[in-house]
Amino acid sequence: MRKGKCGVLTVALPKGRVLEELMPLFAKAGYPFSHDLFTSSRKLVFTLPEQGFTFFLAKPMDVPTYVEYGVADVGIVGKDVLLEAGREVYELLDLKISPCRLSVAGKPGVEPALYPRVATKYPRIAERYFKERGQQVEVIFLNGSVELAPLTGLAERIVDIVSTGRTLAENGLVELEQITTVTARLIANQVSYRLKRNSIQSLTEQLRQAVERGVSV
């Protein structure tokens, strides 16, 4: 496994909405990085040796991969992604930001077929969920805009993230079952956690205190 430079923590950040809520939390934890630093250009790697960090921006679904391989010592990622990715990483802290839920949704009043099709970006979670309930389904993987599947007849059901509920409502869909609640988590590479224990524990502790104090975004 490759390791980051000694003394500097390499952090994989997820592009997108979690990042927006993360920066105020980092500031509250004593790490005042501006959201603009990461979003005002197309740069992906940010080396800040004075602050003891190298950050990089990855697609959320790829963050656990970078952390498992040790390219990043730690990462920030939604619990949904963590469950779906099934990577060997340590989950250190619930950051309690970006709350949403992972749910089954579909058109209202439609009785499911005997062997319904379920479209999702989360095939592993969906397979597991329906298997545990003894329900036979055909899971169809999609990369996004999953709400389109029941509208077009590709699938009767979807498994997807519901945050404000706006996307479902504006597409005439309803939430049918809640699978789990989701928030962002701090994760760590298992080897880094031993070799860079002090820096990782210090970051975790600072963030833990910031989470406990609460963040207004």
Element (H, E) at 134: none
Output 18 or 71, the one with its CB closest to ligand PRP: 18
Backbone angles phi, psi at 141, to 5 degrees: -80, 130
Asked if 47 is part of the footprint of ligand PRP (rule: CB under 6 A), the reply reads no
Tell me the residue type at 171: N
Smallest separation, CB 161 to ligand PRP (Å): 4
**How many whole angstroms separate alpha carbon 159 and alpha carbon 121?**
8
Q: Which residue, 217, 209, 211, 216, is CA-closest to 185?
A: 211
Asked if 145 is part of the footprint of ligand PRP (rule: CB under 6 A), the reply reads yes
Smallest separation, CB 169 to ligand PRP (Å): 8
For the chain, the residue count is: 217
Q: Is the Cβ–Cβ distance between 149 and 105 less than 8 Å? A: no
Selected from 135, 163, 180, 181, the binder of ligand PRP by CB under 6 A is 163
Asked if 180 is part of the footprint of ligand PRP (rule: CB under 6 A), the reply reads no
Selected from 80, 84, 156, 160, the binder of ligand PRP by CB under 6 A is 160
Output 73 or 160, the one with its CB closest to ligand PRP: 160
Footprint of ligand PRP on this chain (CB under 6 A)? 144-147, 160-167
